[in-house]
Amino acid sequence: MTSKYVGIAVIVAIGFGIFYLNDQGMLNLTDDGNGGQAIISPIGTATSNQDDIQVYSGSLTMKNLLTDAEDPATSRTDDTNADTVYYKRTADGEFRKLASSTSNSATVTVDEDLKTVWAEITVPSGQAFYVDSNAIASSHSRVGTPIWADPNLDNKNSYVFPIDITGISTPDPNNTPEFQLMIDLWTDGTLTIDSPADQSAVGQGKVKNTIKWSADMTAEKTGEAVTEIKITLNQTDSTMWYENDSYIEVPTSSGTQKITLAQMDRSDLSSTTVYKYKYGTDVDTANFFVVAKNGDTEIRTPVVIYSGFDADNEGLTITYQLTKIDSQGAYTTTSDAVKVVEQ
């Protein structure tokens, strides 16, 4: 009798154990193509993503091809117009040089710990080009968003692109796998603000005055980086203009940007009122004015001032200035002034 109860208890215990293992995912009793056969999953293991593992070791050839960002048929020269240096990055964030590109090629050594190669692209002294970072990142599935950094510690930041090299291999073990980096460069042009005519007899009350300024580029297929817009009015009585309604329109990579005076940083000086809109302090944060191939070199940047004159002979002198930074980090300005008067 005792043995009968013991047998029942054993059966119950086995049944409970099977239920527990199946519930915890350690025992699979579902039909998964194995005819319903129970498969015991390994304990303490997890499925690995092959893309996160470096399965290749050996040499990897890093190729590059330099072209004009606005005219791909125009080539640029590696190690002359731009330099490309490849790095690996340590766990503490330091960059360690792997190779430098010469004649559009460099060789790096890959081991199981190297999953990302970082490509620093710099424009040497004396070369008038900008790196089109957005075009480079968007045209490669393995290239990520670049960082603005100084991996060679020369106190000059540049774009550094992460390149995922996991899963890179070649069907023929006798050949060295390759990765090709397409590098787009803008030609550094020169912007100059033109000089539209003064505007007179605008009248009193709230009046819209459009000053048709443009920033003229020296040639097509060129660009220049703008770091700041400044508009100066030669008056301190702000009842003479409408800050919230007055604005400037400038081009951006995605279209046209409308910036009101109220959105700018205002400074009230002894005899003038100054409005500044700052994009940044370097090439990475600047707004690029670019003329495409066969494009119009006259880049329209109209300034609209709503005046509010309430007496005869009132007027404003409006000065429009752009601050630019070239590919070597040097700042220049271009400006023009227009008068808007009541009579």
**Spatial contact of 121 and 108, defined as CB atoms under 8 Å apart:** no
Which pLDDT band, with edges at 50, 70 and 90, does 212 fall under?
very high
**Spatial contact of 333 and 320, defined as CB atoms under 8 Å apart:** no
Nearest to 184 by CA among 290, 298, 297, 255: 290
The structure's pTM equals 0.81
Distance CA 30, CA 38 (A): 8
- What count of Cα atoms within 13 Å lies in the side-chain half-sphere of residue 79? 9
Which pLDDT band, with edges at 50, 70 and 90, does 221 fall under?
very high
List, for residues 141-192, the tens digit of each pLDDT value.
999 999 999 999 999 999 999 999 998 877 787 889 999 999 999 999 999 9
Give the helix, strand, coil percentages of the chain, each rounded to 5. Answer: 10, 45, 40
> Sheet harboring 191-193: ordered strands across?
191-193, 214-217, 298-300
Predicted pLDDT at 167: 87
Distance CA 209, CA 246 (A): 9
- What count of Cα atoms within 13 Å lies in the side-chain half-sphere of residue 160? 22
Question: Domains in the chain, please, with CATH?
Answer: 2-40 (no CATH), 50-187 (2.60.40), 191-341 (2.60.40)
Distance CA 276, CA 323 (A): 11
**Is 240 a residue whose pLDDT tops 80?**
yes
Which pLDDT band, with edges at 50, 70 and 90, does 208 fall under?
very high
Predicted pLDDT at 174: 83
**Spatial contact of 83 and 121, defined as CB atoms under 8 Å apart:** yes
**Is 2 a residue whose pLDDT tops 60?**
no
332-338 CB contacts, 8 Å cutoff, 24+ apart: 334/191, 334/192, 334/193, 334/215, 335/193, 336/193, 336/194, 336/195, 336/196, 336/213, 338/195, 338/196, 338/197, 338/198, 338/199, 338/211, 338/213
Share of the chain above pLDDT 90, in %: 79
